[in-house]
Amino acid sequence: MTDSFEFSTSITTERMPDPGLFTWDLSSDLVYADSAVASLFGLDPSMTERGLPIRTYLERVHPDDRASSAKQISDAIIAEHPTEQFYRTLGLLGKYNAVRAFGRCFRDKTDNPVHYAGVVIPAPSTAQVASN
């Protein structure tokens, strides 16, 4: 019996969203992020690349999503498992946009959590919501 695999591609004229990369140094409580994350959170890329406190990012998460997002991250660090989240962030134009985030915690040789890293991508444009 032979397994067959069909590979297919499709070409679209729609621009694919840029994934945003971030890493959170837990000991300094600074999140370092690229310009894609900065844009999704309505922040200055020159600041995100040099590190901002995690609270700066959480303040840009929709109030209805903030507590659950923070808890999921905390649970992922404690339980040592990757996480996938959906939440809304306050973007550059003052509107909340849906995003999807994937992250995981990394530990040092003595099993202490030291970094939390991942990617954030925009959810489909149909998920854009009103500013309040």
Per-residue pLDDT tens digits for 73-120: 999 999 999 999 999 999 988 999 999 999 999 999 999 999 999 999
Task: Classify domain 20-127 by CATH number.
Answer: 3.30.450.20
The reported pTM is 0.80
27 burial class (0-12, 13-18, 19+ CB within 10 angstroms)? exposed
Lowest mean pLDDT among 1-5, 33-37, 57-61: 1-5
Domain ranges of the chain: 20-127
Query: What's the rounded mean pLDDT across residues 34-57?
Result: 97
Angstrom distances, CA of residue 91 to CA of 14, 66, 128: 21, 15, 10
